[in-house]
Amino acid sequence: MSQDVKNRIDYLTDYLSECNYQYYMLDNPTISDFEFDKLLEELINLEKNHPQFAHQNSPTQRVGGTITKVFPTVKHDFPMLSLSNTYSEEELFDFDKRIKDFGIENPEYICELKFDGIAISLKYENSNFVQAVTRGDGVQGDDVSPNVKTIYSIPLTIKNSFVEKFEIRGEIIMPHKVFHRLNEERVAKGEEPFANPRNAASGSMKLQDSAEVAKRRLECYLYNVHAENIPHKTHSESLEALKEHGFNVPDNFKVCKNMQEVQNFINYWDVERKNLDFDIDGIVVKINDYALQQQLGSTAKSPRWAIAYKFKAEQVSSQLREITYQVGRTGAVTPVANIEPVQISGTVVKRASLHNADIIRDLDLHHFDWVFVEKGGEIIPKIVGIDLEKRKTDAQAVEFISHCPECNTKLIRQEGEAAHYCPNEDNCPPQIKGKLEHFIARKAMNIEGLGEGTIELLFDKKLLRNVADFYTLTYDKLFGLEKTIEATDEKPERTISIREKGASNIIKGIENSLKVPFERLLFALGIRFVGETIAAKLAQHFKNIDALMSASYDELLEVEDVGEQIANSLINYFSDMNHMFIIEQLKSFGLQMKIDETATSVSQKLNNQTFVVSGVFSISRDEIKKMVIANGGKNTGSISGKTDFVLAGEKMGPEKKKRAESLNIPIISEEEFYKMIE
Ligand code: IVH
């Protein structure tokens, strides 16, 4: 009986692997999808009930289902080098000259596409896939085997025999059509779209659930093989052989007898790449002969026998229609060039970012100019130049706006900053929404059930004007609300509506946020320059909101890592009546306005003593500082009359030592500190 099960598992494993190969690699389906799914289902069930017979590289691995919490770090058997880049013909000819100067008279080159994805190293033993490791830092990378097994173009078992043990390297890419579909899905779910297919491929490789990776439909192109006793003399022979063994080696490599042929290959693909369904960013030129590769060797970073010719980013020209200005969540005003729509790298471009007033000035942009637009790795293309010949003589230079397009407040530009800001932070609509979104974020109050769309809806219905308003929401106020949000460049039109479940989730999320610790509430208020870490330090130092609000400028500077900019920002924030009112309201709703001493405290042995921790210790400085706080003490960054102890590790700066001595502040060692808290 169990022999029958084993035989059936063996049979299905082989048969379905072959079906996959025929379908994905040869584009030659041999059975119907229905039949395939039925047999796969049977195999999944058999493997579940008889795991002892399951093959490690079974076709069931293609659908994923393995959860990897942490990808193990693996050292590469030999480093994954990079390639030196060239951007011009001259540099390419220099490469050829270097090879010839080395004594190689008529080098034979092989030209390949330079795939723009993420490098991967695949190990095989006895015709079986064993491990896939990312490039990492070139010396060691992450073992992402379960995720890689879901990629159909990577064989899990190899046809015919090959050398017993080998490693093959290549590039994982996301095809354009998969990329566009994935981004549409992400946007529909309210998630950030990926900037480009490379980022999407890289993000996919790091997913913990391999079933999710399987859905991403990644592909892998292979370009290098490493083994002892390779039975081939040239790289092109190896590539041909790899193809025979079922590896996804592209057909479009070419052996070139001279630089003219290399040049032709480059010129051909510089145009033809627009018709590929994946990104390439150049051409790799390699010496074909393995013995010559060996002779030339490598530097620490890259082989001397190969070079990458990088294509220039695609540029097109189009006419400027108008400049519009976007006010961001922080009040920063970004100018955007709206241009006549043009096709670039496969997408229609209507807008290009101008970043700030300096960029407009440096470009000397005039209204209705013809501009050159370039699309690099970013979603939003940029303007890289102006076609002055097409400018009309009476064209007017573009002047940056003086008032906020959202609330008409006069814009300000701080010394040394590139951006213009709208200072009306509490009444300018995008800034209010930005503050509300920041408040509910995971690292802030973590209010579940609410998102960017619902905030937009509640703002629109005038239910939210500041962060205290969250706590005035009720089920009845929420239930039944609806709004259609217009399409933007990034997101299509969508309708947000709140039904029973949505309303009760929001209310539950808001109730739960009452327990969020003080330091996170402080961060959630969105005080300029007060990030997560500073908020935690302020909370630990002052212990409660009242002490923080009444702190003087000098007292604020005593807190570790708080400098003039943060101190000024805090003073400004707390001197605003509107903010005081919001804080009073939050207090009355029962939010956490003081630190929970019981949560972190171990003892009160250092009660309110102020420490400056400096130098190198047997454990990290951060650990030491945590111990100070856990025992009721405070940390500050610089030594002043208020410092009680300087805790000195090795290599403490001589200036600090002098200052402590001149102020008569006791300098204690790590051991003495441990005694104090024993
Ligand atoms: S050969 C020793 N061939 O480009 C170098 N690399 O910038 C072996 N790449 O890390 C690399 N297409 O991830 C080679 N046809 C190709 C390639 C290619 C893309 C990537 C690879 C490498 C990076 C170097």
Residue to probe by mutation, ligand 1, list 81, 85, 109, 114, most atoms within 8 Å of CB: 114
Task: At 311, list the tokens.
Answer: 């294509």
Residue to probe by mutation, ligand 1, list 284, 286, 294, 296, most atoms within 8 Å of CB: 284
pLDDT of the residue at 393: 92
Least confident of 148-162, 423-437, 567-581: 148-162
Q: What gap in Å lies between CA 386 and CA 366, rounded to an integer?
A: 9
**Which regions of 621-663 does DSSP assign to beta strands (E)?**
634-635, 645-648
Exposed/middle/buried for residue 103 (C-beta within 10 Å: 0-12, 13-18, 19+): exposed
Q: Are residues 434 and 452 in the same domain?
A: yes
Q: Are residues 490 and 591 in the same domain?
A: no
Instruction: Kindly report the CATH number assigned to the domain that includes residue 461.
Output: 1.10.150.20
Q: Which atom of ligand 1 is nearest to the CA of 308?
A: 7
- Is residue 466 a part of any domain in this protein? yes
Instruction: Kindly report the CATH number assigned to the domain that includes residue 383.
Output: 2.40.50.140
How sure is the predictor about 163, in pLDDT bands with cuts at 50, 70 and 90? confident
Q: Are residues 502 and 585 in the same domain?
A: no
Task: At 130, list the tokens.
Answer: 């064993």
CB atoms within 10 A of CB 491: 17
Residue 493 has pLDDT above 80, yes or no: no
Instruction: Pinpoint the alpha helices (H) of 441-563.
Output: 452-460, 475-478, 500-512, 518-524, 532-542, 545-549, 553-557
Instruction: Pinpoint the alpha helices (H) of 500-646.
Output: 500-512, 518-524, 532-542, 545-549, 553-557, 564-574, 577-589, 597-600, 621-630
Q: Whose CA is nearest to atom 13 of ligand 1?
A: 119
CB of 297 within 8 A of CB of 319?
no
Instruction: Kindly report the CATH number assigned to the domain that includes residue 618.
Output: 3.40.50.10190
Q: How far is the CA of 62 from the centre of ligand 1 (A)?
A: 26
Q: How far is the CA of 154 from the centre of ligand 1 (A)?
A: 17
Q: Are residues 86 and 232 in the same domain?
A: yes
Task: At 191, list the tokens.
Answer: 């998630």
Write the pLDDT tens digit of every residue in 13-57. Answer: 999 999 988 888 787 888 888 999 899 999 999 999 999 999 988
Task: At 19, list the tokens.
Answer: 């079906």
Domain ends where: 554, 572, 599?
Answer: 599
Residues with CB under 6 A from ligand 1: 81-83, 112, 114-115, 119, 171, 223-224, 284, 303, 306, 308
For the ranges 324-333, 338-347, 503-512, 599-608, the one whose mean pLDDT is highest: 503-512
Collapsing DSSP to helix, strand or coil, 510 comes out as helix
Q: What gap in Å lies between CA 225 and CA 249, rounded to an integer?
A: 11
Q: How far is the CA of 376 from the centre of ligand 1 (A)?
A: 19
From residue 226, alpha-carbon distances to 119, 238, 239, 255 in Å are 15, 10, 12, 20
Q: Are residues 119 and 179 in the same domain?
A: yes
Q: Which atom of ligand 1 is nearest to the CA of 114?
A: 12
Q: Whose CA is nearest to atom 18 of ligand 1?
A: 114
Q: Are residues 303 and 251 in the same domain?
A: yes
Residue to probe by mutation, ligand 1, list 84, 113, 115, most atoms within 8 Å of CB: 115
Helix (H) or strand (E) holding 103: none
87 Cβ neighbours under 8 A, 6+ residues apart: 309, 310, 312
Looking at per-residue confidence, does 1 or 208 come out higher? 208
Compute the average pLDDT of residues 459-486.
94
Domain ends where: 263, 293, 310?
Answer: 310
Write the pLDDT tens digit of every residue in 306-350. Answer: 999 999 887 889 999 999 999 988 899 999 999 999 888 667 788
Q: Are residues 411 and 491 in the same domain?
A: no
CB of 206 within 8 A of CB of 216?
no
Q: Are residues 586 and 647 in the same domain?
A: no
Q: Which atom of ligand 1 is nearest to the CA of 302?
A: 2
Q: Whose CA is nearest to atom 2 of ligand 1?
A: 81
- Is residue 70 a part of any domain in this protein? no
CA–CA–CA angle 63, 64, 68 (5° rounding):
170
Looking at per-residue confidence, does 142 or 192 come out higher? 142
83 Cβ neighbours under 8 A, 6+ residues apart: 114, 284, 302, 303, 306, 307, 308
Q: Are residues 137 and 237 in the same domain?
A: yes
Residue to probe by mutation, ligand 1, list 83, 110, 111, 116, most atoms within 8 Å of CB: 83
pLDDT of the residue at 161: 67
- Is residue 299 a part of any domain in this protein? yes
397 Cβ neighbours under 8 A, 6+ residues apart: 364, 365, 366, 367
How sure is the predictor about 490, in pLDDT bands with cuts at 50, 70 and 90? low
Domain ends where: 569, 599, 629?
Answer: 599
Q: Whose CA is nearest to atom 12 of ligand 1?
A: 114
- Is residue 323 a part of any domain in this protein? yes
- Is residue 656 a part of any domain in this protein? yes
Q: Which atom of ligand 1 is nearest to the CA of 303?
A: 2
- Is residue 402 a part of any domain in this protein? yes
Write the pLDDT tens digit of every residue in 263-317. Answer: 999 999 998 998 899 999 999 999 999 999 999 999 988 999 999 999 988 788 9
Which residue range(s) make up the domain with 10? Answer: 2-63
Q: What gap in Å lies between CA 544 and CA 70, rounded to an integer?
A: 38
Write the pLDDT tens digit of every residue in 243-256. Answer: 988 899 999 999 99
Domain count across the chain: 6
Write the pLDDT tens digit of every residue in 372-387. Answer: 998 765 667 889 899 9
pLDDT of the residue at 377: 59
pLDDT of the residue at 654: 85
Q: How far is the CA of 151 from the centre of ligand 1 (A)?
A: 19
Q: What gap in Å lies between CA 593 and CA 519, rounded to an integer?
A: 9
Q: Which residues are catalytic?
A: 114
Instruction: Kindly report the CATH number assigned to the domain that includes residue 22.
Output: 1.10.287.610
Q: Are residues 622 and 656 in the same domain?
A: yes
Q: What gap in Å lies between CA 384 and CA 398, rounded to an integer?
A: 16
Q: Are residues 447 and 480 in the same domain?
A: yes
Residue 579 has pLDDT above 90, yes or no: yes
- Is residue 69 a part of any domain in this protein? no
Instruction: Kindly report the CATH number assigned to the domain that includes residue 90.
Output: 3.30.470.30
Dihedral sign for Cα 213, 219, 225, 228, please.
Answer: positive
Q: How far is the CA of 606 from the centre of ligand 1 (A)?
A: 57
Write the pLDDT tens digit of every residue in 616-674. Answer: 998 888 889 889 988 888 888 888 888 999 999 988 888 888 999 999 999 999 999 99
pLDDT of the residue at 285: 98
pLDDT of the residue at 156: 92
pLDDT of the residue at 489: 62
Rg (CA), the chain: 31
- Is residue 35 a part of any domain in this protein? yes
Q: Are residues 440 and 304 in the same domain?
A: no
